[in-house]
Amino acid sequence: MKTILITGGTGFIGTNLCNRLIQDENNKIICLDNNYTGSLKNIENLIDNSRFKFINHDVINPIEIDEKIDEIYNLACPASPASYQGKHAILTTKTCIYGAINALDLAVKNNAKILQASTSEIYGEPLVHPQIETYFGNVNPNGIRSCYDEGKRCAESLFFDYYRIYGAKIKVVRIFNTYGPKMDKNDGRVVSNFIYQALLGKDLTIYGNGAQTRSFCYIDDLINGLIKMMATQDDITGPINLGNDGEFTISELANLIKEKINPSLNITYKPLPSDDPTQRRPDISKAKEILNWQPEIKLEDGLNKTIAYFKGII
């Protein structure tokens, strides 16, 4: 039996990962979360499973677990700009940094493998396009996004120092925009906002002129990448980009969702938040080569599945 700890286990990625990993009867899942942006509702189908345990805990505090842990996925952190900025900014930085330290300490104690959910945000406003892992990024160190960007950058730094100093078995992946079922409809991200707005017959809100780009990865593809990364040999540390390399403007995304739900909807333009990256697309050559991984689900198909999910919860 393998015991797997997932911090941030009731969030969007965590919930999908719990549901996937529990399918293997040799896996036991410990799902840890403080439910700040996650929700117990997301895991209610798992709670009675004898191979599943939920622990209500904030990763800012040391993590004490009596049983032997084999693998840790460190996902805990608010991930939507609307949830990590503003009055929660300091909490976000603490979650990134103390959370990394506490998860790494537990990994070293257990000689467990540990995967860090890093992010495309560590590239900031990228001057290299598409973004490749060797690019150091262009991050505003004191802007409204820096709590997340610099927090995640410092977490990467901690992971590599634990690797160099303690021989921790680290795996760092940089996750690009991901969407799909179990996204919180109110978390403020673009895919969930547009789908939710469209289903309610409201205007779609584009920030700025809609020319900024993002690359959207369907959750099942991402989960495959996370599991493949965890399964690598100890000398594979990353960082490795995980994302879909199709690139779309936000206007294109709005039109696609409008067409699918209600073509007569209007678009309202709102101010672009500061430090909102102008363009983003992962170079995924490393993931293809090292993990033999690439996304399989096209945006159109992923949006259909996500719209179906949102219709069910509205």
How far apart are CB 64 and ligand UDP at their closest, in Å? Answer: 33
Cis link prior to 239 (omega < 30° from 0)? Answer: yes
Cβ proximity to ligand UDP, 47 vs 314, nearer residue:
314
* Residues between 2 and 21 with contacts to ligand UDP, criterion CB under 6 A: none
Q: Please report the beta strands in the chain, taking only residues with DSSP state E, as ranges in sequence order.
A: 2-7, 27-33, 52-56, 71-74, 113-119, 169-175, 178-179, 204-207, 213-214, 217-218, 240-242, 248-249, 267-270
Question: Does 212 contact ligand UDP by CB under 6 A?
Answer: yes
CA angle, residues 274, 275, 277, in degrees to nearest 5: 125
- Other Cβ atoms less than 10 A from the Cβ of 56: the count is 11
**The two structure tokens encoding residue 88:** 């929660």
User: Which stretch, 37-45, 162-170, 188-196, 284-292, contacts ligand UDP (CB under 6 A)?
Assistant: 188-196
CB of 80 to ligand UDP, least distance (A): 6
Q: Which amino acid is at 287?
A: A
Of positions 17, 18, 206, 261, contacts ligand UDP by CB under 6 A: 206
The one catalytic residue in 123, 148, 163, 196 is 148
Q: Which residues contact 114 (CB under 8 A, 6 or more apart)?
A: 71, 72, 74, 103, 104, 107, 159, 168, 169, 170, 171
Piece of the chain touching ligand UDP by CB under 6 A; list 39-47, 166-174, 186-194, 283-291: 186-194
Q: x/- site string to ligand UDP, residues 88 to 127, per CB under 6 A?
A: ----------------------------------------
**Residue 119: CB minimum distance to ligand UDP, A:** 8
CB atoms within 10 A of CB 218: 22
Q: State the nearest-atom distance from the C-beta of 219 to ligand UDP, in Å.
A: 14
The site for ligand UDP, by CB under 6 A, has a size of: 15
Shortest distance (Å) from residue 110 CB to ligand UDP: 32
What does the alpha-carbon distance between residue 12 and residue 297 come to, in Å, rounded to a whole number? 18
> Does the annotation mark 148 as catalytic?
yes
Q: Which one, 51 or 88, has the nearer CB to ligand UDP?
A: 88
What are φ and ψ of residue 91, in 5° steps? -60, -40
Among 284, 157, 143, 167, CA closest to 221:
284
CB of residue 273 vs ligand UDP: minimum separation in angstroms? 6
Residue 19 neighbours by CB distance under 10 Å? 18
Stretch that binds ligand UDP, among 24-32, 39-47, 189-197, 260-268 (CB under 6 A): 189-197
Among residues 214, 258, 281, 286, which is the contact residue for ligand UDP, using CB under 6 A?
Answer: 214
Contacts of 273 by beta carbon, 8 Å cutoff, 6+ apart: 81, 144, 207
Strand, helix or coil for residue 57: coil
Does residue 177 touch ligand UDP according to CB under 6 A? yes
Q: Is position 190 an interface residue for ligand UDP (rule: CB under 6 A)? A: yes
- Number of Cβ within 10 Å of residue 137's Cβ equals 16
d(CA 192, CA 188): 7
Part in contact with ligand UDP (CB under 6 A); list of ranges 21-29, 67-75, 202-210, 222-230 = 202-210
Segment lying near ligand UDP (by CB under 6 A), choices 107-115, 158-166, 225-233, 271-279: 271-279
- Catalytic positions: 148
Chain positions contacting ligand UDP, by CB under 6 A: 80-81, 177, 189-190, 193, 205-207, 212, 214, 250, 272-273, 276
